[in-house]
Each structure stands twice: as structure tokens, then as C-alpha cells.
Amino acid sequence: MLKYLSLLLTILLFSCSGSKKMLKKGRVLEHNKQYVEASNFYFEALNRKNSNVDASIALNRVGNKVLNQYLNDFYKKESIGDIKSAVYGYLKAFNYQKKLSKYKIYNDIPNHYLEKYENVKRIYLKNLYEVGESLMNELSYKNAENSFTEILKFNVEYKDAKQLRDIAYVEPLFIKAKIKLEGKNYRDAYNNFVLVLQRIPNYKDAIESKAQALELGRHNFLLFTFENITHKKHIETKISNYISNELSNLNDPFLRLVDRGNFEKIMNEQELALSGFVDESKAAEIGKLLGAQKAISGKVISYSHKVNQSQPQKKQAAESYTVRKKRLDGEGYTSETKYKKVNYTSYNKSIDVHVEFHYKLISLETSEVLLSDIIDISLNDAVSYSVYNGDSKKLHSVSNSGIDKGYSPPTRKLRAQFSKRKKLKSEKELSNDLFKSISGKVSKKITQYIE
């Protein structure tokens, strides 16, 4: 509690000291008739200590001069017809007045200034609106959007400024999307139509055109049953499932996997048994039957896993223990730390899993192989640890120079061996990680191709 009070007192003293310094700097600037700068220091003095009466009096005195200065600037701009500068000049004065009121310094702006401001603002918004309309007619949409956006800063309900601003934003996107659609750049067309509809939900025929871009640009994929020529059963199904999930999770509207159940049903009805690397000559026939343009076929070429375990090694350390001895004067006991040589066992194990997978992306319209790649990938895991039957926290390293009786790096390293992970990752864990990695690589290649 005392520590907290001491800290609080320190902060208060610092604030008071800082407030006085700000006040002093403000007075110098005020003396030099730099009223705006002086008021900033008075504001800061009150921020640091809101009960600084001298700072409050000074701000009241200087703040009135600054406010009048801003109002005079507004009046001059309005008199010479500098409409925009006049509008923002009044706002500068108004915002300064609001800032003063936060420090309980109240200076009213005379009503005739407000009347002049409302009149000049009306002219400013009228001019902006006319300029915006003219820019729209000239197809200068970005500049038109800026004009209408400026109007809405002052009046969100000014005529149809909001509607015109949105049109100025979406029309260039709509034109671009239409050009992309004609150029068969369906993905870009689709994305631009999405932006259009996000701003104006029913703009022209953007809904229909967006649907058209998606329909023309969508890639319907088949995933054939993969072939497996290794001794490891069912891994082709696992890889297929991982790839299917990876592609589905992309949430790419231009990529759609044909339902596996529907695919197999039609294949059975047509007595077509396809697996692994499909015969490309049958590709067009399959594509027509299933409404797909592309297919992914694959083959697991090799699979292996190997566990390596070296022979356990007996190693030597020293264990500390305490011996109590009766004092020579008979008054109590003394303690002495001694060390005894002991043995512990060190283990080293590792596991390696390897997969080689070949896949192809086939056009079901032309029977052409669009993409072919072999993924050769391995994962491994290793553990190195030690086991001791006694208390490993009492062990010390032993070297040619003797026993390390302290807690040096060699002893710290020795003790750390007994708390290390002892269990290897399983073959299933590593193989699943491999399949996931394969699916990611296949998915990335395919999406890069279709984009």
C-alpha cells in the first residue's frame, strides 16, 4: 500500500512540474503574440494538471483572441468570395470553440457568423453538385465521386448526392467488368461485378452478368479414383480425400468438384471402370456424361517408413548427496555434500516416412494433359533422451577434469536430457501430415493453373 501511495505521489509531482513548465512556455509565446502556439501549451498544461488555475485563466485570455482570429479569417474569405476557404475557416473556428468548452472555457460565436456560414455553405454545396453532374457527363467518374463525397461530409441528405456518388463509384467497375466478360476474363469480370453489387445491389444487369461470368468461367472437376502400386493399403483413398477437402475449403466459386457419389453411380451405369491414370481417349465421353471440363487423376508410386533406434548407451555422472556429522564441540551437526559415481542410459530414436505421388490434370473436352507433376516428399521425427532410476535433479556432469560440483552449462545440459520427449510421432501422424502437404501442393498448382 505504501509503495502504491509513493508511486502515485511521484506521478502527481511530475504532473504538477510538467504543468508549470507548459504554462511558462505558453507565457513566452503569448508575450511574442504567438497566440495559437501559446494556447496549445496552455491546453497541455491543463492536460497535465486540470486544477492549474493560472493555466485556465491564461487559456481563457488567449483562447478568446485565437477564436476571434479564426472568425476574422472566415469573414475575410467570405467577403472576397473564396467559398471553400470560408467554409473550412468557419469550421476551424467552430472546432476551436468546442475544444475550449472541454476545458470549461465558454466563448460564444455571434449569430451573424453562423448565418454567413450557412449561406456560404449553401453556395459551396450547390457549386459542388453542379461540378459533380458536369464531371459525370464528361465520364470523369473518380472526380465526380470526390465532389459528391465532399457534399455528403456536410449534408448526407443533399438532393441525390449519395446516389450519384455510388453511381460514380460503380460505373467504371461495371464498364471494366463488361470488357473483361467480353474478353473471356471471367474471374476478373466476376470480381468486378461483385464490387458493383456490394455498393448498388440492383445496378443495371450486374446480377445477370455476374452469374454469366461464373457460369462461363467455372471449372467443374472430377476426382478419379487414384491408383496405388505400393504395399501400403488405402493410402490412395486418404490422399484423394485430403485433396478433395483442400479444394473444397478454398471456397472458390470458379472451382467445383463433381459429387463423388453421383460420379460413381453414372460410371457404374455406363460400365466404365476408371482408376488411377485414366485413359485420355475416354475423357471427352466422361466429361459429357458428368458435365465436367477437367479431371484429376493420380498414382501413389512409392511409400516407405523406417524406424531407427541406436543401441542404448550407458553413461556416467555423479549424484550429490548430503552427509550429517556431529560437531567436534558436541553442539549440533554439520552438513557436507558428497558425490558418488552413477550410471544412466541414453537413447536415440528416429522415424522417417516417404511418399512419391504422381498426379495429372486432364481436360475432359480435349483429352489433353494440362498439368502433370511428381511430388516426392518425406517427413521425419527424432527423439534423444536419457533415463535414470534415481533423482536426475541431483546429477552432475563428469569429465576428465573431474566432477562439476556447481551448475555449469554441461550439468544443465545433462539434466535437461531427462525431461525431453521420449515418444516418437507415429507413422500415422507423419503420413497424415505428408498427405496434407501433398494436397496443399496439388491444390496450389491447380488453382494457379485455372487462374
Q: Is 343 in contact with 374 (CB distance < 8 Å)? A: no
Q: Please give the DSSP secondary-structure letter assigned to residue 406.
A: S
Q: Name the grid cell of 5.
A: 501511495
Q: Please give the DSSP secondary-structure letter assigned to residue 273.
A: -
Q: Name the grid cell of 86.
A: 470560408
Q: Is 392 in contact with 418 (CB distance < 8 Å)? A: yes
Q: Within 10 A of 52 (CB to CB), how many other CB atoms are there?
A: 21
From residue 390, give the alpha-carbon distance in Å to each of 170, 311, 312, 321: 76, 22, 18, 12
Residue 94 has pLDDT above 80, yes or no: yes
Kindly report the length of the chain.
451
Q: Please give the DSSP secondary-structure letter assigned to residue 346.
A: E
Residue 157 has pLDDT above 80, yes or no: yes
Q: Residue 351 corresponds to which amino acid?
A: I
Across residues 98-124, what is the average pLDDT? 95
What gap in Å lies between CA 147 and CA 134, rounded to an integer?
11
Q: Greatest CA separation found in the chain?
A: 112
Binned at pLDDT 50, 70 and 90, residue 282 comes out as low
> Which CATH topology does 218-322+336-451 take?
Rossmann fold (3.40.50)
Long-range contact pairs involving 154-160 (C-beta distance under 8 Å, separation at least 24)? 154/87, 154/121, 154/124, 154/125, 155/125, 158/125, 158/129, 159/129
Binned at pLDDT 50, 70 and 90, residue 12 comes out as very low
DSSP string, 276-340: SS--GGGHHHHHHHHT-SEEEEEEEEEEEEEEEEPPPEEEEEEEEEEEEEE-TTSSSEEEEEEEE
pLDDT of residue 366: 82
pLDDT of residue 11: 41
What gap in Å lies between CA 378 and CA 194, rounded to an integer?
42
Closest to 62 measured CA to CA, from 30, 89, 92: 30
The alpha carbons of the chain give a radius of gyration, in whole angstroms, of: 40
Q: Quote the pTM value.
A: 0.71
> Domain coordinates of the chain in residue numbers?
14-109, 128-217, 218-322+336-451
Give backbone dihedrals phi and psi of 203, rounded to 5 degrees, phi first. Answer: -75, 120
| Chain segment 339-351, per-residue pLDDT in tens | 999 999 999 999 9
Comparing 104-118, 225-239, 269-283, 330-344, the range with the smallest average pLDDT is 269-283
Binned at pLDDT 50, 70 and 90, residue 10 comes out as very low
Torsion of CA 358, 361, 362, 368, to 10 degrees: -90
Residue 423 has pLDDT above 90, yes or no: yes
- For the chain, what is the mean pLDDT? 90
Q: Name the grid cell of 76.
A: 475575410
pLDDT of residue 9: 38
- Percentage of the chain modeled with pLDDT above 90: 76
Binned at pLDDT 50, 70 and 90, residue 334 comes out as confident
Q: Name the grid cell of 182.
A: 467480353
Binned at pLDDT 50, 70 and 90, residue 3 comes out as very low
What gap in Å lies between CA 348 and CA 387, rounded to an integer?
12
| Chain segment 160-219, per-residue pLDDT in tens | 999 999 999 999 999 999 999 999 999 999 999 999 999 999 999 999 999 999 999 998
3-state secondary structure of 269: helix
What gap in Å lies between CA 20 and CA 49, rounded to an integer?
9
Residue 24 has pLDDT above 70, yes or no: yes
Residue in the block written with cell 467445383: 256
DSSP string, 83-139: HHHHHHHHHHHHHHHHHHHHTT---PPPHHHHHHHHHHHHHHHHHHHHHHHHHHHTT
Name residue 384's beta-bridge partners: 348
128-217: which CATH number, 1.10.40, 1.25.40, 1.10.155, 3.40.50? 1.25.40
What gap in Å lies between CA 362 and CA 368, rounded to an integer?
6
Residue 300 has pLDDT above 80, yes or no: yes
Torsion of CA 6, 12, 18, 20, to 10 degrees: -120
Across residues 124-147, what is the average pLDDT? 98
Q: Name the grid cell of 328.
A: 567436534
